[in-house]
Amino acid sequence: MTLNSESGTAVQLEKISFSYGEAPFLFDVEFAASKITAIMGPSGSGKSTMLNLVAGFETPRSGRVLIGGAD
Protein backbone atom coordinates (compact mmCIF):
# COMPACT_ATOMS: atom_id res chain seq x y z
CA MET A 1 0.00 0.00 0.00
CA THR A 2 1.30 3.46 -0.92
CA LEU A 3 0.53 6.42 1.32
CA ASN A 4 -0.34 9.57 -0.63
CA SER A 5 0.54 12.67 1.41
CA GLU A 6 -1.91 14.74 -0.67
CA SER A 7 -4.97 12.58 0.07
CA GLY A 8 -6.56 15.02 2.55
CA THR A 9 -9.46 17.36 1.92
CA ALA A 10 -9.30 21.16 1.79
CA VAL A 11 -11.61 23.12 4.09
CA GLN A 12 -12.76 26.63 3.19
CA LEU A 13 -14.84 29.14 5.12
CA GLU A 14 -16.14 31.48 2.44
CA LYS A 15 -17.28 34.85 3.84
CA ILE A 16 -18.90 33.25 6.90
CA SER A 17 -20.82 35.67 9.10
CA PHE A 18 -21.83 34.53 12.57
CA SER A 19 -22.57 36.20 15.89
CA TYR A 20 -23.00 35.32 19.54
CA GLY A 21 -25.23 38.10 20.82
CA GLU A 22 -23.23 41.31 20.43
CA ALA A 23 -20.03 39.53 19.32
CA PRO A 24 -19.85 39.40 15.50
CA PHE A 25 -17.44 37.05 13.71
CA LEU A 26 -16.36 37.00 10.06
CA PHE A 27 -14.35 34.07 8.70
CA ASP A 28 -12.84 33.97 5.20
CA VAL A 29 -10.06 31.39 5.11
CA GLU A 30 -8.93 28.22 3.35
CA PHE A 31 -7.05 25.34 4.95
CA ALA A 32 -5.01 23.31 2.46
CA ALA A 33 -5.49 19.57 2.17
CA SER A 34 -3.02 17.38 4.07
CA LYS A 35 -1.44 20.31 5.92
CA ILE A 36 -1.26 20.85 9.68
CA THR A 37 -2.67 24.22 10.74
CA ALA A 38 -2.55 25.85 14.17
CA ILE A 39 -5.42 28.09 15.24
CA MET A 40 -4.28 30.54 17.89
CA GLY A 41 -5.74 33.61 19.55
CA PRO A 42 -6.95 35.04 22.83
CA SER A 43 -10.05 33.85 24.66
CA GLY A 44 -13.19 34.97 22.83
CA SER A 45 -11.50 35.48 19.46
CA GLY A 46 -13.55 32.77 17.69
CA LYS A 47 -11.30 29.67 17.60
CA SER A 48 -13.94 27.26 18.94
CA THR A 49 -16.68 29.04 17.00
CA MET A 50 -14.81 28.49 13.75
CA LEU A 51 -14.32 24.79 14.52
CA ASN A 52 -18.00 24.44 15.48
CA LEU A 53 -19.00 26.01 12.13
CA VAL A 54 -16.78 23.54 10.22
CA ALA A 55 -18.20 20.62 12.22
CA GLY A 56 -21.78 21.75 11.57
CA PHE A 57 -22.60 22.38 15.25
CA GLU A 58 -23.32 26.04 14.45
CA THR A 59 -25.09 27.54 11.41
CA PRO A 60 -23.64 30.66 9.78
CA ARG A 61 -25.84 33.71 9.19
CA SER A 62 -24.33 33.96 5.71
CA GLY A 63 -21.49 32.44 3.71
CA ARG A 64 -20.53 28.85 3.03
CA VAL A 65 -18.43 26.13 4.62
CA LEU A 66 -16.84 24.05 1.85
CA ILE A 67 -15.22 20.71 2.58
CA GLY A 68 -13.52 19.25 -0.47
CA GLY A 69 -15.39 21.86 -2.54
CA ALA A 70 -18.81 20.65 -1.35
CA ASP A 71 -21.12 22.95 0.63
Residue 62 has φ and ψ, to the nearest 5°, of: -155, 165
Residue 6 counted as domain residue: no
Residue 56 counted as domain residue: yes
- Give the pLDDT confidence score for residue 2 in this predicted structure: 47
Q: How many domains does the structure of the chain reveal?
A: 1
Q: Are 48 and 39 in contact (CB under 8 A)?
A: no
Residue 60 counted as domain residue: yes
pLDDT digit string (tens) for 14-65?
999 999 889 899 999 999 999 999 999 999 899 999 999 999 999 999 999 9
- Give the pLDDT confidence score for residue 1 in this predicted structure: 44
Confidence check: pLDDT of 4 > 70: no
- Give the pLDDT confidence score for residue 46 in this predicted structure: 93
Residue 2 counted as domain residue: no
- Give the pLDDT confidence score for residue 55 in this predicted structure: 95
Residue 51 counted as domain residue: yes
